Amino acid sequence: MKEILFIRNNIDKWRSVEELIDNVNFEMPDRLAEAYTDLTADLAFAQTHYPHSRITIYLNNLSSSLHNELYRNKREKWSRVLTFWTQEVPDVMWKERRLLLISFLIFMVSVLIGVLSTLGDASFPRLILGDGYMDMTLENIAKGKPMGVYGSEEESVMFLGITLNNIMVSFNIFVSGVLTSFMPGYQLFQNGIMVGCFDTFFYQHGLLGESLLATMLHGTLELSAIVVAGAAGLAMGNGWLFPGTYSRIVSFQRGAKRGMKIVVGTVPLFILAGFIESFITRHTEINDFVRLTVILLSLCFVIFYFIYFLFSHDSSHEKILNSIFLK
């Protein structure tokens, strides 16, 4: 059999095996065993007839991946802590990259709406941020300490409270996907409105620069993590709405698993953002260059991990298949 014909006859089956590997916890043992048997038979055929072909390398890698999932030691090693964030989270975010983009667009559109609404109605910030917060902020502005809210608590208490609150917010966005993907979108919309409203309020008081230098110290990581959590919620919600060839419950389980990995991946960002907000943001006397450097370093990390690293982390399976069909 010619190699190209062998590939065309089996490519759909091999792609389904990739899906099995991604969702091995939700598959029946008999189906996994059958898939492994078929795959090793294809590998043996390829090794016999196309020993130096890239399709043989692909099948060998795919067989190894399925074998590892079937027989891996259930006791997790400490190395898993590292590979979770360097391999598993990027892998699942790559698969959900469209939802990551949708989450970002929802958030940015809602920020713009918050900006325009505040510019059009001076009372809008009170509706969104509350009278208590607005009165306190206006009082701090009058005292010459517009960012005084960040120094209102002891550092360690503030760190614990803020970090736990932000993690809860991200998990709430994710869990809201149980009610379909509309709810995570709505929560992203609410958060974006608040951000747009907040910054525009300070712009109207001639304090936009100071506001951004203070809030984006921690906000660069914090807001990025909220957008990522939104993608996690959309992934779970889409499991209900778009089951495809799976039953609705299985599709939901698959979406929930992917979403959980994504949202857990945001926890270190919230911890670091909480530390910055509690111990650094309050010190508005810090040189603007130093604050801007921290913001730019945070932004560089976000761009590297969520854009560059993500798009350079496409699986070796896909790279090999692409090279086969593009040669």
Torsion of CA 191, 195, 200, 203, to 10 degrees: 170
Mean pLDDT for all residues in the chain: 85
Comparing 76 with 162, which gets the higher pLDDT? 162
- Does 52 lie in the same domain as 183? no
Is residue 197's pLDDT more than 70? yes
Binned at pLDDT 50, 70 and 90, residue 327 comes out as very low
54-63, 68-77, 122-131: segment of lowest average pLDDT: 68-77
Binned at pLDDT 50, 70 and 90, residue 132 comes out as very high
- Does 61 lie in the same domain as 123? no
Residue ending a domain, among 24, 40, 75, is: 75
- Does 236 lie in the same domain as 139? yes
- Does 71 lie in the same domain as 102? no
Q: Is residue 318 part of a domain?
A: no
Domains of the chain: total: 2
Is the distance from CB of 270 to CB of 218 less than 8 angstroms?
A: no
Is residue 218's pLDDT more than 90? yes
86-90, 159-163, 242-246: segment of lowest average pLDDT: 242-246
pLDDT confidence of residue 184? 94
pLDDT confidence of residue 84? 79
Q: Is residue 266 part of a domain?
A: yes
Is residue 317's pLDDT more than 60? no
Write out the residue range of the structural domain in which residue 12 sits: 3-75
- Does 298 lie in the same domain as 166? yes
pLDDT confidence of residue 191? 95
pLDDT confidence of residue 118? 96
- Does 101 lie in the same domain as 68? no
Tell me what the mean pLDDT of segment 91-95 comes to.
85
Any residues with CB less than 8 A from the CB of 213 and at least 6 apart, and which? Answer: 288, 291, 292, 295
- Percentage of the chain modeled with pLDDT above 90: 46
- Does 297 lie in the same domain as 260? yes
Is the distance from CB of 221 to CB of 272 less than 8 angstroms?
A: yes
Q: What is the pTM of this model?
A: 0.75
- Does 54 lie in the same domain as 13? yes
d(CA 172, CA 184): 9
- Does 253 lie in the same domain as 119? yes
Is the distance from CB of 194 to CB of 169 less than 8 angstroms?
A: no
Q: Is residue 26 part of a domain?
A: yes
Give the DSSP H/E element, type plus range, for residue 162: helix 155-175
